[in-house]
Every structure is written in structure tokens, then in C-alpha cells.
């Protein structure tokens, strides 16, 4: 029988067992096995995933070149939120991250709802990434069903996470190294193609504005039919790209010297966004007219695939583009999807572990294996993520779009909770007269900017084709509240007995 515990409770009653058998694994703690290089690359990898490689396609179709501005603005908002989270995490580096802080500074329901919403969010992210992996595999082998690729990598990545946190950190370190080197190489090589003339006649910086203007779908284009509508409609998809940055906070309980490493990783977020999103997109949209980008493929792979017929000269020698470039890029985007799924498995298990410590999840989720990995939390999360394989089996052509829409709603709730929790956190610290080691920018103005922006995203989702995702939010919150009431009732009955 599984028991639930009150937060900060001191008594646990187990049927016919002594306190000694309360589970020795609970006396273990998560290991601080993530070194500085792990934290840096985990944070960096969180900014480079399917949202950059695959999510750009649908957003570019909606907004054209203006999507570059969208990523810059959304990136700044994401940075503000990460600084707010960073201030809390550095002050108290514990498992459960923002769920712990919501529970402590806003109340038990806030902790319960933010934690379970985050877990649900990353179950959806896991599904999205597993689906994206199948899409990338089909670039080489279109005959392989999505569900088969998803199943194979599902097994491999979960096995890595069951080993130890250090194995996860090493895997994510090398996944991120590959992504970073690839994006840097793409930017450098794309710049060479653009300014050397080797990219073909269609490669020109003028592609950023010569086909309907920089805002081709709204009020401000040259023909009067373009403008901000397309950009605003794309913002929900753009926000999906930045889901994962809050992973910096999740690693705090297992990071070496979190007071030093967490701020360093957080501060680098804005530079990563400018380089890897804005910089890469400027090159991407310059190499080929934006209308050539389709919603169903990776623009990175597609544009370099289209360039394979061109030749270029370097050091007196002539080289010819072949499909090798496109194949190499597909390896990179596959690595990116694996990286994000790897981190999803990690973050989900740690959030469940943190919820169990609060008393907001079943106690058996506290079980650690000999390597101090929350084994039951990983297995439970894996069981729910495996639903993706069924979805890909039944509706493979619609799976990614459906999952990404749901992810955005859960992500917005998550970020709203972080920003609101930070307001309560700062109010408490000011009341106590305590200064924090890593204060956020422009408090409280940046909090209100973030809240207004996120509510605006919900409004745009309502106006555009994601209305159902907004309508599901209050239903989801009601379900969370009912779950909270059930947990508290069981806890009350436990105390009385």
C-alpha cells in the first residue's frame, strides 16, 4: 500500500512495519554529480532543440522573416523568467525547483499544481521529441513508421537515465556539444555562402524584405496586406522553442557549487538566444526566399538540400554541394531531439521526486537506486510518455501538431507560476530584510512585463487556430484542484489514523 505524507510532517505510519523499514533509500539523497561543464551545456542544450530546428517551419509560414523579431522578443521574456527562477534557486538549491518555492511562498495548492503541471508539460515534450525523432529518421528511411523509431530511442534514453545522474550529465554534455558546434558551423558556412556568391542567385540579404516586406503577413508590408498579424499568430509556436530553459533550476539539487554555476549558466541564456536563434535565422532567411520554407520539414535541412547543385571555390579549388550537407544537418537535428528528450526524462523524474518530498505525490516515488537515481519516478514518467508511441501509431500525420499545441498551454502556465511565485518570494525576503545572492533584473517591472506578455500569448492562441488549447486550461486547472483535494483528504485520514 502506498502512503502520502503531509509536508513537513514528522510521523509516517506503515502497516506492521517499523520505522527502520521506512525505506532506507529515502535516507539517501540525490548526488551532486553535475559538474560545471555539465550545467553549462545542459543550459545551452535547453535553448537548442526541436523548437529551433523543426518548430521554425510552421512559425516561418505564419510570419515570414518577421519570425526573427519574434524569437528575439520571446527570448528576452524567457531570460527575465530564468533570472527570476535563478534568484530563487541560488537562494535555496533544492529538489522540486519552482514547485518547492510555490509550495513554500504561495501555499500547498500552488506547489501541487505547478509541480504536476510541469510534469505533465514534460510528458508532452517527451512525446513531441519522440515524434520529432521519428520525423528525422524518415528523412533517410521514409518506410520506417514513426512509432518504431520512437520506441527504439525511448528505450535507449530511459536506460541512460536509470544509470546515474553523471551518465545523464555526460550524455547531455556531448549531445549539446554536437548541437553547438553544428549551429556555429552552419552560421559560419552560411555566411560564407551568402557573401561569397556561392549560395546561388537566390541567396541575398534582401530576402529579408524583398517579398512582401519584413512583415509580409499583416499591416506593414509594401502591398498593405502584411504586418504584425502573422508575427502575433506565430508567437505561440515561437514560445515552444524556449521550453526547457527552466531546466537550469531543476539541476540545482544535483549541481556542484550551485551558488556559482547556476548564475553563470543563467546569464548566458540571452547570448545563446541572440547567437543560436536570431543569428542562425538571419542566415537562414537570407539564403533562400522565405516562401520556400514549408511547415512540414526542417528549414535548415531543406535549404542546404536545395543548395546541393551549386559549387563554390575555396583556396583555389572548386567544391560541389552534395546531399552530404543535408544528411549531416539531419544528424544534428536528430541529436537535438534526443538531447531534449534526454533532459525531459531527467526533469520529469526530479520533479516527481520533489513532489513526493512535499507530500504531493505518492511516497514510493522517493525510492532511489544504488546510484541515487529516483528509479520509480523515471519508470512512472516513462510509462506515460510511452503513450506517444500509440499516438504515432494511430495518427502519425497529426501527432506533432497536436502535441506542440498542448505543450504551449502547459508551458505558459508553468512560466506564469514562476513569475508569480517570484513576486511572493521577493516580498517575503524584503519583509525579512534579507538580500539574495543573484537578484533578478528590474524587479518587479520585469515580472509584470512577463505576465502581460504570457497572457497576450493566450489571447493570440484564442484568436488563432489554438483556441481549444486555451479552453482546456481552466479544465486542466480544475482537474489539478480536484487532485489536490483528494491528496489532502488522504493526508488528513492518514493523520487521524
Domains identified in the chain and CATH numbers: 34-418+438-481 (1.20.1740.10)
Enter the pTM of the model: 0.80
In the structure grid, which three cell numbers stand for residue 103, read together? 509550495
State the pLDDT at residue 421. Answer: 95
State the pLDDT at residue 23. Answer: 41
Residues 6 or more apart from 396 whose CB is under 8 A from it?
134, 145, 146, 147
Give the pLDDT means over successive 10-residue stretches in the chain (497 positions): 34 34 49 74 68 70 84 88 90 80 90 90 80 82 82 89 85 84 81 78 82 70 56 77 76 78 80 78 84 70 62 59 69 83 87 87 86 89 81 61 66 90 94 90 93 90 78 86 89 73
Please tell me what DSSP assigns to residue 202. Answer: T
Task: Decide if 127 contacts 387 (C-beta within 8 A).
Answer: yes
State the pLDDT at residue 21. Answer: 36
Task: Decide if 244 contacts 340 (C-beta within 8 A).
Answer: yes
State the pLDDT at residue 228. Answer: 67
| Angular region, 288: left φ>0, alpha ψ -120 to 50, beta rest | beta
Residue 64, classed as helix, strand or coil, is helix
Please tell me what DSSP assigns to residue 218. Answer: S
Residue 314, classed as helix, strand or coil, is strand
What are the angstrom distances between the C-alpha of 214 and each of 52, 298, 303?
20, 21, 19
Cα–Cα distance measured from residue 132 to residue 333, given in angstroms and rounded to the nearest whole number: 9
Cell 518570494 locates to 425
Please tell me what DSSP assigns to residue 256. Answer: S
Task: Decide if 381 contacts 123 (C-beta within 8 A).
Answer: yes
State the pLDDT at residue 392. Answer: 62
Cα–Cα distance measured from residue 26 to residue 483, given in angstroms and rounded to the nearest whole number: 24
Tell me the DSSP string of 412-431: HHHHHHHHHHHHHHHHHHHH
Q: Residue 288 — φ and ψ, nearest 5°?
A: -150, 145
Amino acid at each position: 500500500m502506498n502512503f502520502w505524507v503531509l509536508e513537513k510532517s514528522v510521523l509516517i505510519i506503515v502497516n506492521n512495519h517499523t520505522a527502520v523499514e521506512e525505506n532506507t533509500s529515502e535516507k539517501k539523497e540525490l548526488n551532486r554529480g553535475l559538474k560545471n561543464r555539465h550545467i553549462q551545456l545542459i543550459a545551452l542544450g535547453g535553448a537548442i532543440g526541436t523548437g529551433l530546428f523543426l518548430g521554425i517551419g510552421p512559425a516561418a509560414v505564419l510570419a515570414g522573416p518577421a519570425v526573427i523579431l519574434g524569437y528575439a522578443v520571446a527570448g528576452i521574456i524567457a531570460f527575465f523568467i530564468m533570472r527570476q527562477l535563478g534568484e530563487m534557486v541560488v537562494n535555496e538549491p533544492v529538489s522540486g525547483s519552482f514547485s518547492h518555492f510555490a509550495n513554500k511562498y504561495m501555499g500547498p495548492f500552488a506547489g501541487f499544481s505547478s509541480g504536476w503541471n510541469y510534469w505533465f508539460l514534460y510528458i508532452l515534450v517527451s512525446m513531441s521529441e519522440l515524434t520529432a525523432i521519428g520525423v528525422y529518421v524518415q528523412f533517410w528511411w521514409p518506410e520506417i513508421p514513426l512509432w518504431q523509431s520512437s520506441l527504439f530511442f525511448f528505450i535507449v534514453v530511459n536506460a541512460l537515465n536509470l544509470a546515474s545522474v553523471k551518465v545523464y550529465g555526460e550524455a547531455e554534455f556531448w549531445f549539446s556539444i554536437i548541437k553547438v558546434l553544428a549551429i556555429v558551423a552552419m552560421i559560419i558556412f552560411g555566411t560564407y555562402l551568402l557573401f561569397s556568391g556561392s549560395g546561388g542567385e537566390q541567396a541575398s540579404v534582401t530576402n529579408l524584405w524583398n517579398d512582401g516586406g519584413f512583415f509580409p503577413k499583416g499591416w506593414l508590408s509594401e502591398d498593405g496586406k502584411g504586418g504584425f498579424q502573422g508575427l502575433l499568430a506565430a508567437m505561440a509556436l515561437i514560445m515552444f522553442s524556449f521550453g526547457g530553459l527552466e531546466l537550469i533550476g531543476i539541476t540545482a539539487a544535483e549541481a556542484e557549487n550551485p551558488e556559482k554555476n547556476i548564475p553563470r549558466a543563467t546569464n548566458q541564456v540571452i547570448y545563446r538566444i541572440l547567437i543560436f536563434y536570431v543569428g542562425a535565422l538571419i542566415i537562414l532567411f537570407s539564403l533562400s526566399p522565405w516562401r520556400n520554407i514549408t511547415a512540414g520539414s526542417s528549414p535548415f535541412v531543406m535549404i542546404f538540400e536545395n543548395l546541393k547543385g551549386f559549387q563554390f571555390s575555396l583556396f583555389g579549388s572548386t567544391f560541389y554541394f552534395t546531399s552530404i550537407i543535408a544528411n549531416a544537418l539531419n544528424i544534428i537535428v536528430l541529436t537535438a531531439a534526443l538531447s531534449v528528450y534526454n533532459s525531459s526524462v531527467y526533469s520529469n523524474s526530479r520533479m516527481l521526486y520533489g513532489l513526493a518530498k512535499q507530500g504531493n505525490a505518492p511516497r514510493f516515488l522517493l525510492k532511489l537506486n544504488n546510484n541515487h537515481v529516483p528509479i520509480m519516478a523515471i519508470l512512472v514518467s516513462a510509462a506515460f510518455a510511452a503513450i506517444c508511441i500509440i499516438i504515432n501509431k494511430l495518427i502519425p500525420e497529426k501527432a506533432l501538431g497536436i502535441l506542440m499545441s498542448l505543450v504551449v498551454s502547459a508551458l505558459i502556465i508553468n512560466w506564469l507560476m514562476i513569475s508569480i511565485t517570484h513576486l511572493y518570494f521577493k516580498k517575503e525576503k524584503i519583509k525579512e530584510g534579507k538580500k539574495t545572492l543573484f537578484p533578478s533584473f528590474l524587479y518587479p517591472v520585469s515580472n509584470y512585463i512577463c505576465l502581460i506578455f504570457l497572457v497576450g500569448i493566450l489571447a493570440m492562441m484564442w484568436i488563432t487556430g489554438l483556441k481549444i488549447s486555451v479552453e482546456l486550461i481552466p479544465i486542466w486547472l480544475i482537474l489539478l484542484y480536484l487532485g489536490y483535494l483528494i491528496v489532502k483528504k488522504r493526508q488528513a485520514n492518514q493523520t487521524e489514523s
